[in-house]
A and B are shown apart, each in its own frame.
Chain A
Amino acid sequence: MTQMTTNPALAIEAEGLVKVFGTTRAVDGVDLSVAGGTVYGVLGPNGAGKTTTIRMLATLLRPDSGSARVFGHDIAHEADAVRGLVSLTGQLASVDEDLTGRENLILLARLLGLKRPQAKERAGELLDAFGLGEAAGRLVKHYSGGMRRRLDIAASIVVTPQLMFLDEPTTGLDPRSRNQVWDIIRALVSEGTTMLLCTQYLDEADQLADRIAVIDHGKVIAEGPPAQLKASVGSGTLHVRLLDPEQRDEAERILAGVLESVHLEADPAALSAPCGDGDRAAEAVSGLSHAGVRIADFSLGQPSLDEVFLALTGHAAEEHDTEADSKERAA
């Protein structure tokens, strides 16, 4: 398959995008630069401005200021050219619940210029590829969450887009469906589609993205490859939960002897400390058990989005700005 590689233009080039809803600056000067053929993760909590940013890039919403180009086409002045290159999926755009899965895909295929027989053939091919062959004749309102999400993605690739906007593609899915969606995304990327992936999960961005922008209050607060981002936060965290909360002070003292900056969690039996090294973690945990501190469970995990936010902003990734968020959705 030949790609548009004659022009190595950036897939997305945004400068100073701003969108204001009422008194809320939902997007407050976002710059983005996304290379073609890559997956670019946009990470942030609800209401951070992710969806509004995508809606502007996908020509659904006019920026109040700033500009952006998609494969060299201006989103404001060449909206139609942009629409010919992109597709939306996830919370952004939906499928029609009152039609069957097959009808949804045939409708989109016809809207994208396929003749009726080709549209039917293409719909059948996609339903098969997405494991929806059996459900093809059922109304979408009777689909499960995972089936719906797969149909949604199928609807976005009836004609292979150059650039795909994925807005929280796995939010609310069970682990199996989530893995299926991730596999689909990887397959699309290997075919050369550029992805802009919005997510609340660092894990998801880490699994899929080549670069990540962390967005908060409408601004990009950090940008870089996932490894670099995580390194800036600390590579992992040891979480320990005790059987007896009474022993927490003692546990804190013991952990502080091995690890730096031990943190007391809101849970009165839990502690955590940044720790990138498995041996150090093992040493810390065995120190606790030698001292007779009884442990309910412990884990050594990647930093969560919360921890990334804490490190980058000094505040937790709470769902602030729910007003802006509901406006975002209503808009």
Chain B
Amino acid sequence: MSTASIARKDAIAEGEKLRSALASTPRPPRASALSATLAFGWRGRLKVKHVPEQLLDVTITPVMFVVMFTYLFGGAIAGSTGEYLDYILPGILVMSVLFTTVYSGVALNTDVTKGVVDRFRSLPIWSPAPLVGSALGDTVRYLIAGTVIIVFGVVLGYRPDAGVPGAAAALVLVVVFAFGLSWVFTTLGLLLRTPSAVMNAGFMAIFPLTFLSNVFVEPETLPSVLEAFVNVNPISTLANASRGLMDGNVPGGDVAIVLGTAAALTAVFAPLTSHLYRSRG
């Protein structure tokens, strides 16, 4: 009985505070498209802070690949582990960042299944703001994933010929491509039912594409059919471009193709994501 009456008093005290909290809310002018987008970018960065496991998952795998491939196969593939590290590291940078993009789709699907999306969709804001803001916020995640790999390579003895500016240029290029690719996974995130389905489908696509590229081996060593595929795989072009940037011989053609592919992916899949997002039940 006494706890009930205390609870009652608490509730009444809260009610008083609530009334004052309610009485002081003049409706502000609407948030601009930019400030709504920035707010969602902020949310994305907070998630990196609060859910670091996700980033850890996708960085540990590439780190293991660097160690395993360099020290197990490096001597056999390239003659020495040092030489192979020079070859593989820019490729692993690509792999690491592209793996991270899958999580953009997983995160969007989680928002849908948890019902957070419904709150966002009921707000009077520029409707693509949650998507664009998250995509921009996720680039922070990509930058971290890429930086971890480059730093790890340097620890193992990797020294890019083009130094810090070269490595930074390669990182930026990979992140720009990842931004484009992330729209494929956000589309997937709105089409599939559960976060784990998105994760499985995402890795089922990205894993073979990464292996059937020049990330790990020179394509000339492959059977001709495979070589042909590897040479048209955009991940190969991206790995070539990032190698070139790190080595200091800027591969203009490859960079242009990478930027063009990123733009094309964005042009197709960003509007598709936005359409699915707005028209979902």
Contact = CB atoms under 8 A, between A and B. Distances in A.
B57 interface: no
Given A1-B23, A61-B281, A96-B116, A103 B28 contact: no
B115 A126 contact: no
Contact of A113 (B28, B51, B119): B28
Contacts of A180: 11, 14
A103 B24 contact: no
B4 to A, nearest CB: 8
B30 A98 contact: no
A113 B43 contact: no
A98 B19 contact: no
B127 to A, nearest CB: 9
B224 interface: no
A26 to B, nearest CB: 10
Given A114-B28, A125-B21, A129-B20, A59 B39 contact: no
Contacts of B275: none
A89 B91 CA distance: 47
A88 interface: yes
Interface string B195-228: 0000000000000000000000000000000000
B22 A111 contact: no
A211 interface: no
Contact of B21 (A84, A91, A107, A126): A126
Given A103-B46, A188-B22, A87 B122 contact: yes
Interface SS majority for chain B: helix
Given A110-B39, A180-B14, A187-B15, A93 B28 contact: no
Contact of A98 (B47, B118, B121): B47
Nearest to B123: A111
Interface stretch (A153-161, A219-227, A286-294, A315-323): A153-161
A186 B124 CA distance: 26
A187 B18 contact: yes
Contact of B18 (A58, A112, A130): A130
Contact of A94 (B31, B42, B118): B118
Nearest to B113: A330
Contacts of B46: 98-99, 103
B50 A86 contact: no
Nearest to A118: B28
A111 B19 CA distance: 23
Given A1-B23, A191-B22, A86 B122 contact: yes
A19 B49 CA distance: 41
A184 interface: yes
A152 to B, nearest CB: 9
Interface string A31-48: 000000000000000000
Contacts of B21: 125-126, 128-129
B2 interface: no
A190 B16 CA distance: 12
B10 interface: yes
A103 B45 CA distance: 12
Contacts of A277: none
Interface in B104-136: 111, 114-116, 118-125, 129
B155 to A, nearest CB: 31
A172 to B, nearest CB: 15
A83 interface: yes
A244 interface: no
B50 A129 contact: no
B43 to A, nearest CB: 6
A256 B104 CA distance: 67
Contact of B27 (A99, A107, A118, A160): A160
Contacts of A243: none
A159 B42 contact: no
A97 interface: yes
Contact of B122 (A88, A110, A129, A130): A88
B228 to A, nearest CB: 43
Interface string B25-40: 1011111000110010
A95 interface: yes
A94 B43 contact: no
A97 B14 contact: no
B20 A159 contact: no
A81 B19 CA distance: 26
A21 B12 CA distance: 44
B31 A93 contact: no
A183 interface: yes
Nearest to B12: A183
A87 B19 CA distance: 18
Contacts of B129: 111
A228 interface: no
Interface in A110-162: 110-114, 118, 122, 125-126, 128-131, 139, 155, 157-160
A179 interface: yes
21 contacts: A55-B281, A61-B281, A84-B30, A94-B114, A94-B119, A95-B119, A98-B51, A99-B46, A99-B47, A107-B42, A108-B119, A108-B123, A110-B36, A112-B31, A113-B31, A126-B21, A128-B17, A139-B50, A155-B119, A159-B27, A159-B28
Given A98-B46, A187-B15, 19 more contacts: A58-B122, A59-B122, A88-B118, A88-B122, A94-B119, A96-B111, A96-B116, A103-B43, A108-B123, A111-B123, A114-B28, A129-B18, A129-B20, A131-B10, A159-B27, A160-B22, A179-B11, A180-B14, A330-B281
User: 10 tightest A-B contacts by CB?
Assistant: A331-B281, A94-B115, A93-B119, A129-B21, A113-B28, A84-B124, A129-B17, A83-B124, A110-B39, A93-B118
